[in-house]
Amino acid sequence: MMPSRHSLKPILALSAALVGCAPTAFDNPDGSTPTTDCNAYDFRGTTYDCSALDRCTETDLVYRLACCECDVALCNPDPTCDETDGGRPPPTGAAESCMQCHNGSDHNDYAGEGMSNPHPFPGMPNILCTECHGGNPNGVGRLGSHVPAPPEIGDDDNLILDPGAYFNYLTLSGIDNIPDYTVDGVTYTALEWLQFMNPGDLRVVQDGEGCGTPGCHAGEHAEWVPRNAIGNAVGFFSGVAYAAGIENHIPEQQGLWEDTAAEWGWRALSDADWAGSSDRVGSVGRVDELPERAVYGDRSGIYQNALYDSTQLPNYLYDGTIRGYEANRVVEGSPLEHVLFEAVGVTCGDCHLGSRGANNRYGDFRSSGCTACHMEYSTDGRSRSTDPNVNHTEPADPDAIAAPERSHIDSHQIRNVARTLPNGAFVRGISDYACAGCHQGSNRTVMQFWGIRLDQNADVVNNRQYPENPANFQNTAGDDRLFDPAVGNNTFNGRNADQYLLVEDYDNDNRDDTPADLHHEAGLGCIDCHGSRDLHGGTRGDDTSGRIVSRMDESVQIECQSCHGGVSNYAATIPCRTYQGDMADCALDRAGNPLRHVTQDAEGNFFLISRLNGSRHFIPQVRDVTVDNGMRNPLTREAVFNPIGSYAMGRADGSPTTGTGPLQGDPTLVTDGFSHTDRLDCAACHASWTNNCVGCHLANEYDADPAHYFFSNLTGERIVQAQANADFTYITPVPFYLGVNARGRVTQMSSGTQLFYRYFDLNGVESQVFAFSDRQGNGNNPNDLGRDAHGALSFDAMMPHSIRGRVTGNAEGPRYCVACHLTTDAIDTFGAQYAAFRANMANRNYAALDFNLLRQHIGQNPGNQLNSPFWVHMVAGLGSGLFLFDDTGCPENPLDDFAGRAYCPDGAPARTFNANDVTYNLDGLVEPTGVSNAATAHPATDPARVAELRRGSLNAGTSGPLGVEILQLLTDPDNGLVLDSWIDADGQPQGNAAAYVAR
């Protein structure tokens, strides 16, 4: 069994308390003074002379960024600049003790050579240290000025000796549960120490201190962020309850939003302004704090409690005999619910802004709350700050922090949108690394955006990738985005270079099948799409701000059309003031909020000024791509029109003003006026790959050994629960699937947490393997109301961050026609085999499947280069036949000969294959009738559109698999659509398409 990732190793040395301060230059570990040649600094392939930088007048933001990265002091304001913002003048009088010690100035003006001014923004350019951090501004030295730690945390000696103290010091998880304490006659609250440690912590902010101080961000961000999905893990915890079929424990929210309404969060929240079912879809009036039920020594919970014996847990599943309580739903309030949530809390319970997360390894170091994004930690945890009193050499081992070490911010400078301020200060944009540490679950979004795929099992390197190995691949050992040669880290987020793959080529065409998103290649970052409204959960002027939402997608307001427009219209605009302070016509998000970095000029051209680094980018409009109107990129003079794009996205109405459209030799195959953009979202075709995690084995174990220490991510308390296993069975980038999202668009789907759950009780007895049905009865409810005998568990619409525009010499492109459609060539070549395959799948005659053919047509065929109908059958959600599992969660197939496959206690699947043992068909998402076999969790925000696209479904009020009409259209060669003109996987016209594309 695997140890908890919160196991702690102390550094066997004690550090003395610093009574005074020593504003001297810091040293390298070898005792030398760190030097960087900023007169010839190489930054992204360009050399910059930062000695020539004029901080007051320089308008090249990339130049500013380069110099700031070289020496963080060059981000600071320049006192020679003519500042005219009219903000609050520097405070008068003697400097606070903090300023004297950490900056070296005798006044509260950050004029010393030490720590940077963190908040040089117009209006409030000289905030006092104690306004943010608290503490005693008149104190003497560290002990007299700092807020002392609670006794539960203590000093460095205690952090070494007490694992619970160090856990809470690192994560801050349970600080708000510590009672008031007295030091030297002064009584403190735990939140005062938490504010001192991190004034951006959401518990501090909600208490009206730090960033939430009245006059700062109170009433807006301080209220919005905790209610957003990112702030409180509401979508995750409540999503688990929904997916396990556990009845919503808040009575007034039962049944709301297709019974997907949230009820659990990391901390309790309420919204007095919530208007019930007439409010915004997905919003709720309250969520409760997820209870911790495994506290060490608490006999009212799991500790030494026979109610949680593994043999009794099956009694807490519904058997399906009562309508409304479908088979394999978990009984609310039962021991099975409790141990399931303990597993979730142990493995995933720190994935939110409430705490600092694990905060214990390279790529995982971060803070909590506002600070997590706006004051980034170094990837190696070591400070690059100019503060002379910060330890610049810890953690010694960036792959594994050790007591009493702590991780550090990169510099004492707030990050926001990249720009130069009137006082000469440069604000760096929030980098992708601020996102990467958290967004490592599921699809590994940031890694995908960068063109890196997580192979957790290292299957590719070990030549056991299922269903087939790539012809060639490259790991990330030489990729300094993850593995910095100057630092010497061996892991990123706990994984090594063999678990992160840079290149994979499955069809041996010398093109990467897992390329980076084109926006990343262009130099954009996460914040160029995901701005204040999406991340904070609100923005001024948006009356939907500050709602407690149930799912992440209910907060996201950006969409591709916001910047690129559509086939019929250019991107909408509204007058606004840009981040540079200029009036302009700005693009809009879905809710009508202006995108202050996306503007339209007088000639009609759209440009984006990167919030990450200030670079300027031309934005092609879909209308100009589809209509040959002579539009050119004003920066490169390249034509915007793309004949393949016009064929794929245009409207087939015969008008040159609407593009070509997908014309066919047989005109009856295309409805007059048809355009794919009417029903598909952009990612359905333009997302080039998805990392599918098929089969997730999660197990937790009871462990009350006095020598073992495990702590709650929820409360910080010592608990008797540990992670026993957290393993994916298969992880593959090759398959892709279509479904319907909550907005009523056909889009890409991916496996959710296809959970196989086990529990080891206090006697070490292993439970049976559980797989659950959701509140709608989907996922594992065999043969009920037209569902298949073999459930698909969790599968849902999602947004892959792998957007591509076209095939290039070394990278695959978007999904072309053959990825989703049958063609005449496909049926002519494989028609007889396809007919047999369809019959075998419909009759569950899995033993008759030709698995070697499927290995070729799926495993070696990304994008469907083979023009295979088997691929199309999979894409539609009717199943590939390759992802069959037995009742324990072990795969059933004759191809996989890896004896260590999770979870297969009897050996390699190929050696135990028995088609009669199949219990789950994990990519058989839907029946040909439109009845779903998969659990989905996103309520429709456009119910009419969703219902139209999901006809035949038993719960057409949520996102989910395709409906009966589209299934027939895509997969039935007799009654569906068989193209006689198409674009192949190489982006080349075939059949009659060449004639239409050439028009």
Residue 654: CB partners within 8 Å, gap ≥ 6? Answer: none
Residue 666 to residue 697: CA distance in whole angstroms: 49
Is residue 77 a part of any domain in this protein?
no
- φ/ψ of 819, rounded to 5, equals -70, -25
Note the pTM of the prediction, 2 decimals.
0.95
Which among 559, 348, 537, 532 is positioned nearest to 439, based on CA atoms? Answer: 348
Is residue 481 a part of any domain in this protein?
no
pLDDT band at residue 77 using 50, 70 and 90 as cut-offs: confident
Residue 795 has pLDDT above 90, yes or no: yes
pLDDT tens string 888-930: 999 999 999 999 999 999 999 999 999 999 999 999 999 999 9
Residue 210 to residue 133: CA distance in whole angstroms: 6
Number of domains in the chain: 1
Q: Is 900 exposed, middle or buried (0-12, 13-18, 19+ CB in 10 A)?
A: exposed
pLDDT higher at 85 or 313? 313
Choose the weakest-confidence range: 76-90, 326-340, 704-718.
76-90
Is residue 421 a part of any domain in this protein?
no
Four-CA torsion 393, 394, 400, 405, nearest 10 degrees: 160
- Tokens 């950490």 locate to 102
pLDDT tens string 125-173: 889 999 999 999 999 999 999 999 999 999 999 999 999 999 999 999 9
Cis bond upstream, residue 63 (ω within 30): no
- pLDDT, residue 3, reads 35
Q: What's CA 737's distance to the chain center, in Å?
A: 19
- pLDDT, residue 515, reads 99
Furthest C-alpha separation in the chain: 89
Q: What's CA 268's distance to the chain center, in Å?
A: 23
pLDDT higher at 68 or 317? 317
pLDDT tens string 409-441: 999 999 999 999 988 999 999 999 999 988 886
pLDDT tens string 433-480: 999 988 886 557 999 999 999 999 999 999 999 999 999 999 999 999
- pLDDT, residue 554, reads 93
- pLDDT, residue 88, reads 67
Domain carrying residue 856:
736-745+765-796+809-997
pLDDT band at residue 25 using 50, 70 and 90 as cut-offs: very low
pLDDT tens string 348-401: 999 899 999 999 999 999 999 999 999 999 999 999 999 999 999 999 999 999
pLDDT tens string 800-834: 999 999 999 999 999 999 999 999 999 999 999 99
pLDDT band at residue 508 using 50, 70 and 90 as cut-offs: very high
pLDDT band at residue 541 using 50, 70 and 90 as cut-offs: confident
pLDDT tens string 841-879: 999 999 999 999 999 999 999 999 999 999 999 999 999
Mean pLDDT of the chain: 94
pLDDT tens string 711-743: 999 999 999 999 999 999 999 999 999 999 999
Is residue 631 a part of any domain in this protein?
no
Residue 957 to residue 367: CA distance in whole angstroms: 38
Q: What is the mean pLDDT of residues 629-648?
A: 97
Do 67 and 48 form a contact (C-beta atoms < 8 A)?
Answer: yes
Do 168 and 159 form a contact (C-beta atoms < 8 A)?
Answer: no
pLDDT tens string 200-249: 999 999 999 999 999 999 999 999 999 999 999 999 999 999 999 999 99
Residue 309 to residue 294: CA distance in whole angstroms: 14
pLDDT tens string 755-766: 999 999 999 999
Residue 16 has pLDDT above 90, yes or no: no
Residue 19 has pLDDT above 70, yes or no: no
Is residue 837 a part of any domain in this protein?
yes
Is residue 776 a part of any domain in this protein?
yes
Measured over the CA atoms of residue 226, residue 227, residue 231 and residue 237, the dihedral's sign is positive
